[in-house]
Structure 1
Amino acid sequence: MSTINIRKDFPILDRIVNDEPLVYLDNAATTQKPKQVIEAINHYYETSNANIHRGVHTLAQEATDQYEAVREQTRRFINASSTKEVLFTRGTTTSLNWVAQGFVKNLLEEGDEIWVSPAEHHSNLVPWQQIARQTKARVVYMPLLADGQLDMATIHNTLHKKVKVMAIAQASNVLGTINDVKTLAKWMHAYDHYIVVDGAQSTPHMTIDVQDLDCDFFAFSGHKMLAPTGIGVLYGKQEHLEQMEPVEFGGEMIDFVYDFESTWNELPWKFEAGTPNIAGAIGLGAAISYLEAVGMDNIHQHETRLVEYVLPRLQAIEGIEVFGPTEASKRSGVISFNLNSVHPHDLATAMDMEGVAIRAGHHCAQPLMRWLDQPATARASFYAYNTLEEAEFFINTVKKVKAFFEDFA
């Protein structure tokens, strides 16, 4: 794939920041939007803006057709078996909360366990803490190896029938670790129990096949894959979604409302209460079309090449500590690191003065920060439109910033 041809589709990449060309390396937080996505949203508002599923007039029918076409497009993108298994949500956080409150809560009894990793984003941890409190179940942390990968051998040997649910990110937003969720799903299903996968950091970067993974639930966000904010997807196996209770109530998700009780609509609309983010869904469809045109395998290979270039050069800088697997093949395009004696926020601020946008903080992963014994980390995260020249500029800027802080030490 040609990053030069791709970059022309992203107007924001031509920005000048602090008198320097923008080098955007905060893609794990959110990705930039190609003009094709922006134009699709504008076209909807300019030509077909109407509420969906409710009206018989032309605009309402057009909007409904576009919205539901994206559901089918999303089904193909993740290889779900039916559009009944594809729910539109506000994002990964909403999706995981729906699963926790609507499905898992009804499974658990006192003494049951929910297994998570110490590397989980708060969105895939806090909901399980709350459910554990409500049901008197326990949250249990799975062990990690020294480089942040799951200790699969220990997990396999210690898994037991009281582990009703495992909640795991397919790719870490801090360490970049890619977890073997297919194997974990196989182990959980041996007990007829469930695995919930946070796909926020994997879906934008690699081919996803939920049937091959055999996960019970899979959640991801549009804004991390070129789409707008406020739109996300929850995949669930149909038999689970039939059992799952909605946690939001109102219009659209009902079948019939009696005076003192109501019945629910069929899947997938059973869970989509109120007016949805129609424009966001249309933007998601345009983003999926764009990603498919580029090729998900091409994107993954491109990011791997960038990590293969950056990782050894970053590790070679004296005073830099890099976290996560040392092999590019075992990680996504996320690289977290720290510079000795320099707070990550100061490092990120200095990088920004050179036009390089990286993230600094705990990355909504405070248990992982404690496991790393770090208050925070700096994080560079690459995507399809980042170039080898930007990767080189990033390394040179880290060296320049390091020299700056040493001069004033």
Structure 2
Amino acid sequence: MTTVHQLSSPWRHDFPALNTKVHDKPLVYLDTAATAQTPLSVIRRMNDFYQHEYANVHRGIHQLSMTATENMEQVRQQVAGYINAPDAQNIVFTKGTTEAINLVAQTFVKNQLKPGDEIIVTEMEHHANLVPWQMMAQAGQLTIKVWPVTPSGELEVSDLKALITDRTKFLAVTHVSNVLGTINPVRDYIQLARQHQIAVLVDGAQAVLHQQTDVQDLDCDFYVFSAHKLYGPTGTGVLYVKPGRYEQMPPWEGGGAMIKKVILPTGTTYNHPPLCFEAGTPNIAGILGLGAAIDYIRNIGIDVIRSHEDNILRYCLEQLQHIGDVEIYGTPKTRAGTIAFNLIPHHAYDVGTFFDHYGVAIRTGHHCAMPLIEKLGQNSVCRASFGMYTDQQDIDCFIAAIHHIKALLD
């Protein structure tokens, strides 16, 4: 049994939103998989930019502009270090995971795949890692092949082997399931893909806040994630591009900053990567907030955070096992801080509404993963997800709320 001492969060006071009251009750925030709360240091960094450094980047020779440019490019270095990219130039800033995936679809896949080529996706993907490939398949006469999820909520390498043919050119796979919390051994998948010259994109949105990520060790071609999943702001994301892949990716958005020279009528030349993929004014404050979030996490240590979250997850699963009519989905061998469940026979929306009445914030619905929810035999599920600030009191309030809801609905 996990001890109370292990379940206390020494960082909880760093997150001001957790002091909020909901329906006159203290907030119990169990929706980190949707958006992680933001520590005060991140908020202050963004405020400092607006109050003291506000200017555009890559456009001016005055001091404010040069400072903003230098600071933003420093964050590019921080991101590269955080995921062990070989160079900061392998990092493209986007507005989120979704845009990063669409960028790869509209540049690499559109340019490299030919009619009849195959893209493999999995049944556990977020819609952001499904719909762009469907759109590319329709536009480019490509074939989508689906890697099925096992009853335990995992992906078997043998099933991937069975799908691969000489026309398979691309694999899109999540590092951690946003519904089940399954931690996929993506390095094993990538090693298999390498044997068949298959390019691989890994959706790391749910992974980067729970565990150390090393893109060079994974050997993936593309890795994507969002700042707001990493205790940072919304509207900011990251695309890692493996060395050698830029040459196969023409720019996809035109505008300022992504050009070298514009000559009418058709003589425009483009900037070098990653700038040629960053048309227009970026979310400078958001990028600086991402850098502050990375600093915050590194000062604590991602392994320390993961140990705490593993203890919270274990404690919550132990408590849920003592409650009748709670159906938990997935039994993966390794799971991040996410539990998908239903209170049988009640609809997830009804249960979620009652949770909110008790001040407990969870997620309900299809979680932007309709194929997986359908595979589970459901049309909606509840999800409790944890972060570094989640403590035993949160879990105890969550469990108490389930007992109250059961008493009201049964």
Query: Shorter-normalised TM-score: what interval?
Result: over 0.9
3-state SS of 1:245 partner:
coil
1:189 corresponding residue in structure 2: 194
Q: 1:108 corresponds to which letter in structure 2?
A: L
User: Which segment drifts farther, 340-349 or 309-318?
Assistant: 309-318
**Against the structure 1 CA distance between its residues 3 and 80, is the aligned structure 2 distance closer, same or farther, given a 3 Å change threshold?**
farther
Output the CA distance in 2 between the equivalents of 1:312 and 1:372: 22
> Offset at 1:205?
1.1
Output the CA distance in 2 between the equivalents of 1:281 and 1:138: 36
Output the CA distance in 1 between the equivalents of 2:183 and 2:95: 24
- Scaled by the length of structure 2, the TM-score of the pair is 0.96
- Scaled by the length of structure 1, the TM-score of the pair is 0.96
Output the CA distance in 1 between the equivalents of 2:372 and 2:108: 27
3-state SS of 1:44 partner:
helix
3-state SS of 1:226 partner:
coil
> Offset at 1:4?
4.1
Output the CA distance in 2 between the equivalents of 1:308 and 1:207: 20
Of the candidates 208, 229, 232, which is equivalent to residue 224 of structure 1? 229
1:384 corresponding residue in structure 2: 388
1:253 corresponding residue in structure 2: 258
2:314 corresponding residue in structure 1: 308
3-state SS of 1:103 partner:
helix
1:353 corresponding residue in structure 2: 357
Output the CA distance in 2 between the equivalents of 1:158 and 1:362: 26
Q: 1:40 corresponds to which letter in structure 2?
A: R
Q: 1:268 corresponds to which letter in structure 2?
A: P
For residues 263-287 of structure 1, give each alpha carbon's deviation from its aligned partner in whole angstroms, at most 9, with x where no partner exists: 1101110100011100000000000
User: Which segment drifts farther, 131-140 or 215-224?
Assistant: 131-140
1:83 corresponding residue in structure 2: 88
1:294 matched to 2:315: no
3-state SS of 2:183 partner:
coil
> Offset at 1:19?
1.4
CA contact (8 A) 2:236 2:283 kept: yes
Output the CA distance in 1 between the equivalents of 2:358 and 2:292: 33
1:317 corresponding residue in structure 2: 323
Output the CA distance in 2 between the equivalents of 1:215 and 1:326: 23
CA contact (8 A) 2:8 2:392 kept: no
1:274 matched to 2:280: yes
Q: Report matched runs for 1:5-404 at 5 Å.
A: 5-261=10-266, 262-325=268-331, 327=333, 330-404=334-408
> Offset at 1:302?
1.3
Output the CA distance in 2 between the equivalents of 1:396 and 1:172: 27
3-state SS of 1:5 partner:
coil
2:3 corresponding residue in structure 1: none
3-state SS of 1:167 partner:
strand
Output the CA distance in 2 between the equivalents of 1:151 and 1:321: 24
Output the CA distance in 2 between the equivalents of 1:304 and 1:4: 13
> Offset at 1:260?
2.1
CA contact (8 A) 1:252 1:265 kept: yes
Consecutive unaligned residues in structure 1, runs of 5 or more: none
> Offset at 1:134?
1.2
> Offset at 1:316?
3.3
Across the two proteins, how many residue pairs are aligned to each other?
A: 404
Output the CA distance in 2 between the equivalents of 1:152 and 1:396: 40
> Offset at 1:389?
2.0
Output the CA distance in 1 between the equivalents of 2:103 and 2:66: 29
**Against the structure 1 CA distance between its residues 158 and 138, is the aligned structure 2 distance closer, same or farther, given a 3 Å change threshold?**
closer
User: Which segment drifts farther, 5-14 or 218-227?
Assistant: 5-14
Output the CA distance in 1 between the equivalents of 2:14 and 2:278: 32
Output the CA distance in 2 between the equivalents of 1:243 and 1:326: 36
CA contact (8 A) 1:18 1:353 kept: yes
> Offset at 1:326?
5.3
3-state SS of 2:245 partner:
helix
Q: 1:389 corresponds to which letter in structure 2?
A: Q
> Offset at 1:137?
1.1
Consecutive unaligned residues in structure 2, runs of 5 or more: 1-5
Output the CA distance in 2 between the equivalents of 1:198 and 1:298: 23
User: Which segment drifts farther, 150-159 or 381-390?
Assistant: 150-159
For residues 285-312 of structure 1, give each alpha carbon's deviation from its aligned partner in whole angstroms, at most 9, with x where no partner exists: 0000001112111111111111111113
Q: 2:281 corresponds to which letter in structure 1?
A: T
Output the CA distance in 2 between the equivalents of 1:2 and 1:258: 62
RMSD over aligned Cα atoms: 1.3
3-state SS of 1:219 partner:
strand
